[in-house]
Amino acid sequence: MKKLLIAVLLVAMIGVSAFAAGSKEAASDAVYIPLISKGFQHQFWQAVKKGAENAAKDLNVRITFEGPETEAQVDKQIEMLQAALGKNPKALGIAALDSKAVIPILQQAQAKKIPIIAFDSGVDSTIPLTTVSTDNLVAAALAADKMAEAIGYKGKVAVLVHDQTSRTGIDRRDGFVKRMKEKYPDIQVLEPQYGGGDHLRSTEIAKAVINGNPDLKGYFGANEGSAIGVVNAVKELKMEGKLIIIGYDSGKLQIDAIMSGLMYGAVQQNPVLMGYKTVEWAVRAMKGETPPKHVDSGYVWADKANMNSPEVQGVIYQ
């Protein structure tokens, strides 16, 4: 009887070991798709990550989502991209900090027949099959329209952008500046400044611009870090109510600034949908589908008057 019990236990143990080994093998066989973002310091990227994770769960794939500590670390992002490529992924997502610098590594991925999906910020190459993003030229032009209306269609305005190398930085800057030049001849736009998306750096830049232009009427911050930098500068200079501030993205600090009246309003992207669509199209591309050249993840305008509307509440993140 004792020998029989021992035999049963051994069989059970072998069964458990085989199941565990099988589970590990199944996990290792899961489709792996790394997403390399611009960073992690803003709530925007956490929302993109959430959308990507939702898609990974729905589509039964494994993802990683990482980015450098700041959006100024182009070299660090390239290192991350190279490391991800070394893991032989089935597809790859990239939000490029520099729309040109990543191209050599993407060429390596292309040679391995790895489908590449750009998100948030495109690449100056046809290697990515598509870019999942806001139409930043159009959205920034809307920000210019709102600014022009708020300052009475004349005066001087400033622009603070996160960078001049990524597609988002370029398009948001150009969308805003071009609309002002084309449609509002009585509005002077100062030379855009670049704060790397960093709150502290952006604050110091904004303070210098405001102090140097006492007749300034408005300030556009082209991403979360830029916009909060402007807000902080206005607070530190005790100029609340004296400047029209328009931002981009949400996050708690911007939402609070809008609701308090410190910020006039902001363009709201849909980062959760952006992350979801990036993974979705990566999977579809692996199966041979050809995506459109651009997948629009959408945007809405938000201000104090419509902040609680379903349209705005559906895209803001805090």
Judge whether 187 and 144 are in contact, CB under 8 Å. no
pLDDT at 21 over 50: no
DSSP assignment of 212-229: H-TTEEEEEE-SHHHHHH
pLDDT of residue 40: 81
pLDDT of residue 144: 98
pLDDT at 18 over 70: no
- Confidence grade of residue 23 (pLDDT, cut at 50, 70, 90): very low
pLDDT of residue 43: 86
pLDDT of residue 42: 80
* pTM reported for the whole predicted model: 0.83
Close Cβ partners of 96 (under 8 Å, ≥ 6 residues apart):
38, 77, 102, 118, 121, 122, 123, 166, 167
pLDDT of residue 218: 98
pLDDT at 180 over 60: yes
- Confidence grade of residue 29 (pLDDT, cut at 50, 70, 90): low
User: What are the distances in angstroms from CA 184 to CA 161, 176, 180, 245, 264?
Assistant: 21, 11, 5, 18, 19
How large is the average pLDDT for residues 118-136? 95
Instruction: Catalogue all structural domains in the chain, each as residue range(s) with its CATH number.
Output: 30-133+271-297 (3.40.50.2300), 136-269 (3.40.50.2300)
How large is the average pLDDT for residues 233-259? 96
pLDDT at 28 over 80: no
pLDDT of residue 102: 96
DSSP annotation of 44? H
pLDDT of residue 217: 98
User: What are the distances in angstroms from CA 212 to CA 4, 209, 216, 268?
Assistant: 90, 5, 9, 30
Close Cβ partners of 103 (under 8 Å, ≥ 6 residues apart):
123, 124, 125, 127
pLDDT at 289 over 60: yes
**Mean per-residue pLDDT over the chain, rounded:** 91
Q: What one-letter code names the amino acid at 148? A: A
Rounded to 5°, the CA angle 231-270-200 comes to 25
**CA separation for the pair 123, 21 (Å, rounded):** 41
pLDDT at 7 over 70: no
- Confidence grade of residue 280 (pLDDT, cut at 50, 70, 90): very high
What b/e sequence results for 158-187 when a residue is b if at least 16 CB atoms lie within 10 Å of its CB, and e otherwise? bbbbbbebbbbbbbbbbbbbebbeeebeeb
pLDDT at 8 over 70: no
Close Cβ partners of 63 (under 8 Å, ≥ 6 residues apart):
32, 33, 34, 35, 52, 53, 56, 279
- pLDDT for 54-80, tens place per residue? 999 999 999 999 999 988 899 999 999
pLDDT of residue 194: 98
Judge whether 263 and 291 are in contact, CB under 8 Å. no
